[in-house]
Amino acid sequence: MGMLQAGIIPVTPFQQNCTVFFDPETQEGVVVDPGGDVPLILQAIEKSGLTIKEIWLTHGHLDHAGGARDLKEALGVDIVGPHQDDLPLLQRIEAQAEKYGIPGLRNVLPDRWLKDGDKVSFGAHDFEVYHAPGHAPGHVIYFNRAQNFAHLGDVLFNGSIGRTDLPGGNHQQLLDSIRDKVLPLGDDVGFICGHGPGSCIGDERRSNPFLQEIRTGGASSAKASGETHKTM
């Protein structure tokens, strides 16, 4: 089995990390969260000579899912995820895009919804799916146990957590998802997230100010805000 590798293409004014997971030996891969700027994504795929097998979504916000339909049409592949609780978000992408003045984003329906405990894969690379609501009701994360690596979308960031002041957001639910779904993956698990640089779970458990709330169980003065990270 070849090594799992990842490339990142920042898309939309929100600089969302559209991620391409690929196997350099087989030249097969998947695109995670094509939020927009589809010509850029297609260019990167073509340049690297990859064959894309599927599109995976972590959640339904416009900067993560807004380009999925165009990319599906260009590549002829299925869209997989998120969890069906994000259906209302996926149906509101065009309205949201208009509000933010971002042209060309489209509402989308996946070919397959995901739920907690599902598995997705391409080639020999298997990923476990965990439903991790809080930032968005249907948010899922993807974990590759073989290489101790996860894509956490907008659940957990380097030094921050997903914002919960958007429709469907719930601060306590997000902290519960991090406690129950993310931290148990293990301290040595590295991750890519939806915005900004990645990290590893142990570093965040020790130093991320938002996670201190989880350990103490009490309220903390740290509140996730759009100021600390530009995210949808």
The torsion angle over the Cα atoms of residues 69, 71, 77 and 81, rounded to 10 degrees, is -60
Could you write out the DSSP letters of every residue in 5-43?
Answer: EEEEEEETTTTEEEEEEEETTTTEEEEE---S-HHHHHH
Residue 67 tokens read as: 């380009």
SS3 56: strand
Residue 178, burial from CB neighbour count under 10 angstroms (0-12, 13-18, 19+): buried
Interatomic CA distance for residues 59 and 52, integer angstroms: 20
pLDDT single digits (tens) 147-198:
999 999 999 999 999 999 988 899 999 999 999 999 999 999 999 999 999 9
pLDDT reported for residue 149:
97
- Look at residue 52 and tell me whether its pLDDT is greater than 60: yes
pLDDT single digits (tens) 94-146:
999 999 999 999 999 999 999 999 999 999 999 999 999 999 999 999 999 99
The tokens 């309205």 sit on which residue?
95
Q: Return the number of other C-beta atoms located less than 10 Å from residue 220's C-beta.
A: 14
Could you write out the DSSP letters of every residue in 132-171?
Answer: --SSSTT-EEEEETTTTEEE-TTSEETTEE----STT--H
Report all structural domains of the chain as residue ranges with CATH numbers, in order of start. Answer: 5-216 (3.60.15.10)
Taking the mean position of all CA atoms in its chain, how far away is CA 142? 8
pLDDT reported for residue 188:
98
Phi/psi region, residue 217 (left: phi>0; alpha: psi -120 to 50; beta: rest), is left
pLDDT reported for residue 1:
55
Residue 63 tokens read as: 């900067």
Closest CA to 61 of 125, 105, 118: 105
Residue 26 tokens read as: 């087989």
- Look at residue 37 and tell me whether its pLDDT is greater than 90: yes
